[in-house]
Amino acid sequence: MDIFSLSIEMLKKYRLCDNCLGRQFAQLLTSTSNKQRGKSIRYVCAMYVDTQKEFYDDNNNFTDFNFNNVKIKFSNEKKKCFLCFEIFTKVEEIAQNVLRILEGYEYNTYLVGVILKPEMIRNEEIFWEEFGTEFSERLKEELSREIGKKIHELTGKNVDFRNSDITILIDLRKNSITKNVRSLYVYGRYNKYKPMPQTKWVCSFCHGVGCDKCSYKGKKYDYSVEELIGDVLLRYSKGTGTSFHGAGREDVDALCYGWREFIIEIEEPKIRSLNLSEVEREINNRYKGYIEVRDLKVVDGKEVKRLKAKRDNKIYEAVVECEEELTKGDIEEINKIKDLVINQQTPKRVEHRRADKIRRRKIFYVKVLNHRDKEATLEIKAEAGTYIKEFVNGDEGRTRPSISSLIGKRCDVKELIVKGFEPEERQ
Ligand SMILES: [Zn+2]
Ligand SMILES: [Zn+2]
């Protein structure tokens, strides 16, 4: 059947607005809108009706109800379109409501999604059952596109299908509009000069609610690397929360002088264009002596995965204390350590968070930097994932060999500093 006859049949049976009529032929003449398509088809159909004099009575009124339907836009009847219930007349109003919800949020790109009323979906199915054409488009698609176009008109911002700053969901069933603000990911490197956990350590007794064990703070430590950095970033971005992803982590009491990489995720930021050199300055001034950051930049969220997968070898400086005085022989023995493979069973102290198993790790070298009496300062280069404290003290035999077992004297780590990160060598 040709477009013309098909349209006449559609319009004789159902009331359709211009958008819904045009949408049945959406893939024809690509450079126009469904509304324009529908309007053109309706004009031609209406002109055709005017040639059918037998449908008029003496007073020039239609006698055929069905044909009256074809001319719907030329009559004053206030009935609704069978497919969209006249939703296209509300596009501007919906777009305005969306903008009200986005007020205060900085964004460059957006995406609009629509959930139709079940009656709309059902009617489209009924209609297509009868008049399905190969050129049609779904109501849902046109409606979200038209609202998107209107928002562009009103704001000058652009739709982005892949990675929009804000996603808007218009639910016609509930008559609601919700937004999803994409997180902002800030990459950087940090040094840590005072003992603190890397991420917020929620109190294990009250799970953050607050109890006498945690002095009603809800956390075990007053601050963490995450909170110090996040605090400033949240103030600048007006976000609602953060999550912190480090390229590995050091123990609470271990320090870091080697600029560990991190990505901090800011949830629901209102401001996306941050002056990161200003943020950096503020963090470094405010938390001088605690932490320091550098190289802050906004990155794609996918970078988190890359960072997490990183397995850099690490260089440590460890101050070690022995139960007895260190002899020349002990120092020589320690300095001899080179490319040593050790077996580490999951340390007792982390057993509750890590699977209990034996890991093979490589110690590239140990150098004694200086020593006096029972104390020595060591530089240790170790494979990613090595437990350094246990490599020194042997963890009651769970790490073999260890510095303690090699020299036959019990030693323990007094201070531990991560001095550097070296990418894993590829072979
Ligand atoms: Zn319609
Ligand atoms: Zn508590």
Instruction: Write the pLDDT tens digit of every residue in 129-150.
Output: 999 888 999 999 999 999 999 9
The ligand minimizing its distance to the Cα of 143 is 1
Q: What is the pTM of this model?
A: 0.84
Query: And the tokens for 79?
Result: 């009935």
CATH architecture of 86-181: 2-Layer Sandwich (3.30)
The length of the chain is 427
> What is the distance in A from the centroid of ligand 1 to the CA of 85?
6
Q: Does residue 412 carry a catalytic annotation?
A: no
The ligand minimizing its distance to the Cα of 81 is 1
Q: Is the pLDDT of residue 63 over 80?
A: no
> What is the distance in A from the centroid of ligand 2 to the CA of 262?
28
> What is the distance in A from the centroid of ligand 1 to the CA of 36?
13
CA distance 113 to 145: 9
- In this prediction, residue 349 carries a pLDDT of 82
Check if 184-309 and 313-422 are the same fold: yes
The ligand minimizing its distance to the Cα of 212 is 2
- In this prediction, residue 61 carries a pLDDT of 67
CA distance 219 to 393: 30
Angle CA 413–334–361, to nearest 5: 70
C-alpha radius of gyration, the chain, whole number: 35
Q: Is the pLDDT of residue 330 over 70?
A: yes
Task: Identify the residue whose tokens are 């460059």.
Answer: 108
Domain boundary assignment for the chain: 1-82, 86-181, 184-309, 313-422
> What is the distance in A from the centroid of ligand 2 to the CA of 223?
15
Mark the residues whose beta carbon lies below 5 A from ion ligand 1.
17, 20, 81, 83-84
DSSP reduced 3-state for 181: strand
Q: Which of 64, 171, 251, 253 is catalytic?
A: 251
> What is the distance in A from the centroid of ligand 2 to the CA of 32?
63
What is the dihedral sign for C-alpha 197, 200, 202, 203? positive
The ligand minimizing its distance to the Cα of 205 is 2
CATH 3.30.70.2510 given to domain 184-309? yes
> What is the distance in A from the centroid of ligand 1 to the CA of 139?
8
Task: Identify the residue whose tokens are 């009924």.
Answer: 126
Residue 371, number of CB atoms within 10 A of its CB? 18
> What does the mean pLDDT of the chain come to?
92
CATH 3.40.50.980 given to domain 313-422? no
- In this prediction, residue 335 carries a pLDDT of 97
Task: Identify the residue whose tokens are 């000069």.
Answer: 193
